[in-house]
C-alpha cells in the first residue's frame, strides 16, 4: 500500500518573511530607496496622480491634436497607415517585453531551485545540490515574477485601448503621443524594476503608461460621441 504524503501550501511564516525582506533591504543602495516619500505615498499624492493622468490627455485631445476621424489614410493598412503601423510594432514590442520577463523569471527560478511554486513542482530542479525554495525565499526570482505579472496586467489593456484608438482614425500627432511611447516606457520601467530601483521612479514611469492608456481612451470616446 503506497503512502500518501500531504502537501500543504500555507504561506511562509510571517516572521520568516519579514526576516528575508529585512535582510534583503540591507543591501539596497540610496538610489534604490524612496527619497521624497520615505514613509510611503500619502493618499493625496495618489489622487493627484489619478487626476493629472486623466486631465492631461483630455486637454491634449481637445486643445492640441486634430480630432480623431479626420485622417483619410487607410487605417487598416499597416504599410500605408502610420497609426496602424505604429500600433503593430508597439504591440509586438510590448508582448516581447512580457515574454522576455517570463523567460528571465524562469531562468532565475531554475538557477535558484525556486521553481516550486506549486506542490507538484516541489521535487523538480537540482534537488541533489540545492534545497528547493519557495519564490518568497528567492528575492531575484520573486522580483522577476512581480515584473512579469505587472506586464501581464497592463499590456493586454494597452493593446485593446490602442486598437480602439486606431479604429477611430486618430491624427498622427495623437498616435505619436499616446501609442508610440508605451513600449519605451515599459522597457524603462522593467529595467529600473530589475535593479530594484526606487518605487518613486517606478510609479512615475507607470503613471506615464497610464497617461498613454487614458489618451487612447479619450481619443476613441471623442470619435464615438461626436
**Domain membership flag for residue 80:** yes
Q: Does the residue 12 lie in any domain? A: no
Give CA–CA dist 162/180, Å, rounded. 10
What per-residue confidence (pLDDT) applies to 62? 95
Hunting for cell 520601467 — which residue is that? 189
Dihedrals phi, psi of 90, to nearest 5 degrees: -70, -35
**Residue 79 placed within a domain:** yes
In a domain, 34, yes or no: no
Tens digit of each residue's pLDDT (9 = 90 or more) over 157-213: 999 999 999 999 999 999 999 999 999 999 999 999 998 888 888 888 999 999 999
Residue 24 lies in a domain: no
Q: According to the model, what pLDDT value does residue 45 have?
A: 76
Q: How many domains does the chain have?
A: 1
Instruction: Tell me which residue range forms the domain holding 67.
Output: 41-225
- Cell 498616435 sits on residue: 175
Given this model, what pLDDT does residue 40 score?
Answer: 65
**Assigned C-alpha cell, 23:** 535582510
The list of the chain residues with pLDDT below 70 reads 1-18, 20-28, 30-41, 117, 125-126
Q: Are 178 and 76 in contact (CB under 8 A)?
A: no
Residue 221 CA to residue 226 CA, distance in Å, equals 8
3 within some domain = no
Q: What is the pLDDT of residue 203?
A: 87
pTM, 2 dp: 0.81
For every residue of the chain, DSSP letters joined together read: -PPPPP---PPPPHHHHHHHHHHHHTT--GGGS-SS-TT---HHHHHHHHHHHHHHHHHHHHHTSPPTT---S-TT-TTT-HHHHHHHHHHHHHHHHHHHHHHHHHHHHHHTT---SSGGGTT-S-TTTS----GGG-HHHHHHHHHHHHHHHHHHHHHHHHHHHHTT---HHHHHHHTTTHHHHHHHHHHHHHTT--HHHHHHHHHHHHHHHHHHHHHHHHHHH-
Residue 82 sits in a domain whose CATH number is: 1.20.120.550
Whether residue 117 is contained in a domain is answered as yes
The three grid cell numbers given for residue 148, joined into one nine-digit string:
512579469
Please spell the DSSP secondary structure of 47-73, one letter per residue.
HHHHHHHHHHHHHHHHHTSPPTT---S
**How confident is the model at residue 32, as a pLDDT?**
65
Report the distance separating Cα 55 and Cα 178, nearest Å: 14
Considering the domain boundaries, does residue 26 fall inside one?
no
Amino acid at each position: 500500500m503506497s503512502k500518501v504524503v500531504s502537501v500543504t501550501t500555507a504561506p511562509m511564516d510571517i516572521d520568516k518573511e519579514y526576516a528575508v525582506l529585512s535582510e534583503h533591504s540591507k543591501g539596497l543602495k540610496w538610489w534604490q530607496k524612496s527619497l521624497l516619500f520615505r514613509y510611503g505615498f500619502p493618499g493625496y499624492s495618489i489622487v493627484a496622480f489619478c487626476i493629472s493622468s486623466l486631465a492631461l490627455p483630455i486637454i491634449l485631445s481637445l486643445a492640441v491634436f486634430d480630432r480623431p476621424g479626420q485622417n483619410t489614410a487607410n487605417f487598416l493598412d499597416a504599410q500605408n497607415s502610420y497609426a496602424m503601423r505604429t500600433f503593430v510594432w508597439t504591440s509586438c514590442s510590448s508582448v516581447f517585453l512580457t515574454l522576455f520577463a517570463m523567460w528571465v523569471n524562469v531562468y532565475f527560478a531554475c538557477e535558484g531551485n525556486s521553481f516550486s511554486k506549486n506542490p507538484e513542482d516541489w521535487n523538480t530542479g537540482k534537488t541533489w545540490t540545492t534545497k528547493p525554495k519557495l519564490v518568497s525565499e528567492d528575492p531575484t526570482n520573486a522580483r522577476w515574477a512581480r515584473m512579469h505579472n505587472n506586464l501581464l496586467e497592463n499590456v493586454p489593456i494597452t493593446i485593446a485601448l490602442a486598437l480602439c484608438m486606431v479604429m477611430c482614425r486618430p491624427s498622427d500627432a495623437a498616435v505619436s503621443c499616446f501609442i508610440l511611447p508605451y513600449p519605451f516606457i515599459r522597457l524603462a520601467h522593467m529595467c529600473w524594476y530589475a535593479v530594484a530601483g526606487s518605487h518613486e521612479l517606478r510609479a512615475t514611469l507607470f503613471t506615464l503608461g497610464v497617461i498613454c492608456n487614458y489618451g487612447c481612451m479619450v481619443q476613441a470616446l471623442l470619435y464615438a460621441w461626436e
